[in-house]
């Protein structure tokens, strides 16, 4: 049961908007630009790029996570769902 | 009635414990050593003081020197030496020798005490095959890993607090054992865990630690009473930093795990943020209350209303997502699924709800299905054919017990009865008898608790056959567990 809850938590904190450090309102072009920038910084081993903030703490950012995040946001239906969670989590009710 | 069902009804005559004769011989040797050592000490004290005083002592002083002091030396000094000197200073051999010399320690507890002391000193838990299952080992298991905190430790504390009549929880375990677990919790500033353990403990130090836990959790405790209790309690050096800390500044409630700060202020009022915060707590084995999850479900009902779904549809159109309704349904399904997961691990009574709509009905249905799955998962390790160590068996039973008790709280007696007859009764009964037959006296302490709980549970759901048979089983197990 704890494993399942850990997976749920991981899914929430790996929201692509958190991973990319973007607002849920960010347009597609900005998503692509930010992903490229983060991948370059990770390749250059910049310390700041290795962590990302969420309302629930800091987590490790990897190139795989960035690629996966940008792929998720390219699909409009998936983006809609991630946007709904990210918006709800970061904005007051 | 089949042969199989007959065999599980009652346990056989108690099997002899391993090395029973050897333990008896050791106990006789121990009593002989006590007699020789203490008789020699008493004789020397009497002779020395008698010669020195030359008849000048009053009757009271004579009684003090001739009776009270030797009695304290004989009864209390060895355990004081073991727990207040040797254990804190990391002298396991001295602690073991002092425990061996203490009349407050039964022969059968010596090994368990040394295991507890080793775990308290940070050494690894020994292989379980070599261990008996008793209160000391249970405390060591609670201390291991998460240091008396977390769901596992809470489960162990709850089981120890509700031991059946006659099941042993030695006085020294209640004082010295519980003190160690409480100190570990307080050093992590886990006030709730310390308070939970304090209900099991006895003695001045446990009283002081309970007071520190209350003060740390924000209760109104005066500095004067804290210092007074500190002055009267033992282990003052170990507890001084804790008392100073709670006296000098107001303490926050339990600190969250380092990687999980609370949501930001802006987000803390959002239902999404509360949702993820509760998932994070449950994922970290922190207790989650049913009331909190019910309040969250109520908030979600409002957050998933028609207006919210209309906003989602509008955004779906902006993003050129054609199946907006399907996306909204998928999000609602996910929320319901995660709420059901939270409810199935939550603790406490479910609050009465005034309204019942589709959202509630769907959530209740998911929770029921999940609870059934949880029961099946908890029953799976209780295999009567697979040998498991009594302590491991006890912990597996505790997991099942926690699941069933949660179902009692959430679903009520009728649902528990249906579950009992349909899924739980036969496998649990067969497993508990097999456990006692396989391990005999080594599983006596565990078997008493399990049989007694099965009997109580059978009584709760009106299963008189199972109740009477398991009361008998509990008596048989108690005969070897004493």
Q: What is the DSSP string of B238-254?
A: HHHHHHHHHHHSPPPSS
- Give Cα B283 to chain centroid, integer Å: 19
Note the pTM of the prediction, 2 decimals: 0.72
CB of B140 closer than 8 Å to CB of B152: no
Report how far apart the first and last C-alpha atoms of chain A are (Å, whole number).
30
- Per-residue tokens: B189: 């500033």
Rg of chain A on CA atoms, in Å: 13
Instruction: Tell me how far CA of residue B61 lies from CA of B39, B42, B332, in angstroms.
Output: 20, 15, 81
- Rounded Cα–Cα distance for residues B472 and B475 (Å): 5
Which tens digit of pLDDT belongs to each residue from A2-31? 678 899 999 999 999 999 999 999 999 999
Domain boundaries defined on chain B: 76-248, 265-366, 383-481
CB of B449 closer than 8 Å to CB of B167: yes
Whether A92 and B270 lie within 8 Å, measured CB to CB: yes
- Rounded Cα–Cα distance for residues B210 and B346 (Å): 25
- Rounded Cα–Cα distance for residues B375 and B416 (Å): 11
Calculate how close chain A gets to B269, using CA atoms only, in Å.
6
B chain contacts of residue A93, beta-carbon cutoff 8 Å = 269-271, 303
- Evaluate the CA torsion angle B193, B147, B215, B87 in order and state its sign: positive
A chain contacts of residue B267, beta-carbon cutoff 8 Å = 55, 89-92
Calculate how close chain A gets to B428, using CA atoms only, in Å.
21
| Residues B20-48: b if buried by 16+ CB within 10 A, e if exposed | eeeeeeeeeebeeebeeebeeebeeeeee
Calculate how close chain B gets to A56, using CA atoms only, in Å.
5
Instruction: Tell me how far CA of residue A82 lies from CA of A17, A26, A70, B166, B473, in angstroms.
Output: 7, 12, 11, 56, 56
Which residues are bridge partners to B347 per DSSP?
A: B289
Main-chain dihedrals φ then ψ at residue B83, nearest 5 degrees = -95, -30
Rg of chain B on CA atoms, in Å: 28
Calculate how close chain A gets to B330, using CA atoms only, in Å.
9
CB of B447 closer than 8 Å to CB of B15: no
State the SS3 of B451-471: HHHHHHHHHHHCCHHHHHHHH
- Per-residue tokens: B208: 């002081």
- Rounded Cα–Cα distance for residues B105 and B176 (Å): 12
H or E element: which one contains B3?
helix B3-9
Taking CA atoms, what residue in A is nearest to B278? A9
Which among B279, B312, B324 has CB closest to A8? Answer: B279
> Which residues in chain A (24-83) have CB-CB distances under 8 A to chain B?
55-59, 76-77, 79-81, 83
B chain contacts of residue A57, beta-carbon cutoff 8 Å = 259-261
Whether A77 and B331 lie within 8 Å, measured CB to CB: no
Instruction: Indicate the burial class of B113 (C-beta count within 10 angstroms; 0-12, 13-18, 19 or more).
Output: buried
The beta-carbon contacts of B125-131 under 8 Å, at least 24 apart in sequence, are B128/B389, B128/B391, B128/B392, B129/B389, B131/B389, B131/B391
Could you tell me which of B187, B190, B206 has the C-alpha nearest to residue B198? B206
Which among B260, B269, B331 has CB closest to A57? Answer: B260
- Rounded Cα–Cα distance for residues B169 and B112 (Å): 12
- Rounded Cα–Cα distance for residues A17 and A32 (Å): 12
Q: Helices B110-120 and B135-143, interaxial angle, to 10°? A: 10
Cβ atoms within 10 A of the Cβ of B252, count?
12
Instruction: Indicate the burial class of B65 (C-beta count within 10 angstroms; 0-12, 13-18, 19 or more).
Output: middle
- Rounded Cα–Cα distance for residues B468 and B261 (Å): 51
Query: What ipTM was estimated for this complex?
Result: 0.92
Instruction: Tell me how far CA of residue B459 lies from CA of B10, B417, B426, in angstroms.
Output: 17, 10, 15
**For every one of its 482 residues, what pLDDT tens digit does chain B have, with 9 covering 90 and above?**
343 444 455 655 444 444 556 667 888 899 999 999 888 988 888 888 888 888 788 888 888 888 888 888 889 999 999 999 998 898 999 999 999 999 999 988 999 999 999 999 888 888 877 788 899 999 998 888 666 566 778 888 888 998 998 889 999 999 999 999 999 989 888 888 899 899 999 999 999 999 999 999 888 889 999 999 999 999 999 999 999 999 886 544 444 433 334 445 544 568 999 999 999 998 887 878 888 999 999 899 888 888 888 889 889 999 988 888 888 889 999 999 999 999 888 877 777 665 567 888 888 889 888 888 889 989 988 877 666 788 888 989 998 998 898 888 877 888 889 989 988 999 999 999 998 888 888 888 999 999 999 999 999 999 999 999 999 999 999 988 77
């Amino acid at each position: 049961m704890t494993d399942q809850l850990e997976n749920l938590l991981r899914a929430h904190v790996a929201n692509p908007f958190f991973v990319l450090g973007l607002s849920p309102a960010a347009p597609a072009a900005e998503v692509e630009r930010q992903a490229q920038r983060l991948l370059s910084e990770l390749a250059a081993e910049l310390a700041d790029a290795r962590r990302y903030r969420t309302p629930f703490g800091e987590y490790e950012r990897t190139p795989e996570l960035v690629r996966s995040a940008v792929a998720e946001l390219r699909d409009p239906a998936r983006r809609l769902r991630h946007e709904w969670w990210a918006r709800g989590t970061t904005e007051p009710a | 009635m089949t042969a199989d069902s007959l065999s599980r009804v009652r346990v056989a005559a108690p099997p002899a414990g391993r090395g029973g004769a050897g333990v008896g011989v050791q106990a006789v040797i121990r009593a002989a050593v006590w007699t020789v050592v203490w008789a020699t000490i008493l004789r020397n004290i009497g002779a020395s003081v008698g010669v020195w005083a030359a008849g000048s002592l009053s009757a009271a002083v004579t009684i003090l020197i001739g009776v009270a002091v030797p009695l304290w030396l004989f009864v209390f000094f060895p355990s004081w030496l073991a727990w207040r000197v040797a254990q804190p200073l990391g002298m396991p051999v001295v602690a073991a020798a002092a425990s061996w010399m203490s009349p407050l320690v039964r022969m059968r507890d010596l090994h368990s005490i040394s295991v507890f002391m080793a775990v308290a000193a940070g050494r690894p838990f020994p292989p379980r095959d070599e261990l008996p299952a008793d209160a000391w080992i249970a405390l060591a298991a609670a201390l291991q890993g998460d240091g008396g905190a977390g769901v596992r430790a809470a489960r162990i504390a709850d089981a120890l607090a509700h031991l059946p009549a006659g099941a042993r929880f030695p006085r020294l375990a209640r004082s010295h054992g519980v003190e160690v677990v409480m100190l570990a919790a307080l050093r992590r500033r886990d006030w709730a865990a310390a308070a939970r353990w304090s209900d099991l403990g006895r003695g001045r130090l446990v009283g002081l630690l309970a007071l520190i836990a209350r003060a740390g959790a924000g209760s109104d405790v005066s500095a004067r009473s804290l210092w007074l209790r500190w002055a009267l309690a033992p282990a003052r050096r170990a507890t001084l930093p804790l008392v100073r800390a709670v006296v000098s500044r107001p303490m926050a409630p339990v600190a969250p795990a380092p990687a999980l700060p609370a949501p930001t202020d802006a987000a803390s009022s959002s239902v999404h943020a509360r949702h993820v915060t509760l998932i994070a707590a449950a994922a970290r084995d922190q207790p989650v209350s049913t009331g909190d999850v019910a309040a969250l479900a109520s908030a979600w009902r409002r957050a998933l209303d028609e207006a919210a779904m209309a906003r989602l549809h509008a955004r779906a159109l902006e993003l050129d997502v054609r199946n907006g309704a399907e996306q909204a349904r998928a999000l609602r399904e996910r929320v319901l699924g995660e709420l059901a997961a939270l409810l199935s691990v939550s603790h406490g009574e479910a609050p009465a709800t005034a309204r019942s709509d589709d959202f509630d009905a769907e959530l209740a249905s998911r929770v029921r299905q999940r609870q059934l799955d949880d029961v099946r998962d908890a029953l799976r390790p209780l295999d009567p054919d697979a040998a498991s160590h009594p302590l491991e068996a006890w912990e597996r039973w505790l997991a099942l017990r926690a699941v069933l008790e949660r179902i009692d709280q959430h679903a009520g007696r009728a649902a528990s009865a249906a579950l009992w007859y349909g899924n739980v009764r036969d496998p649990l009964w067969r497993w508990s008898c097999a456990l006692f037959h396989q391990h005999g006296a080594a599983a006596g302490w565990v078997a008493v608790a399990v049989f007694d709980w099965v009997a109580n549970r059978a009584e709760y759901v009106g299963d008189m056959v199972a109740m009477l048979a398991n009361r008998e089983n509990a008596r048989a197990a108690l005969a070897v567990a004493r």
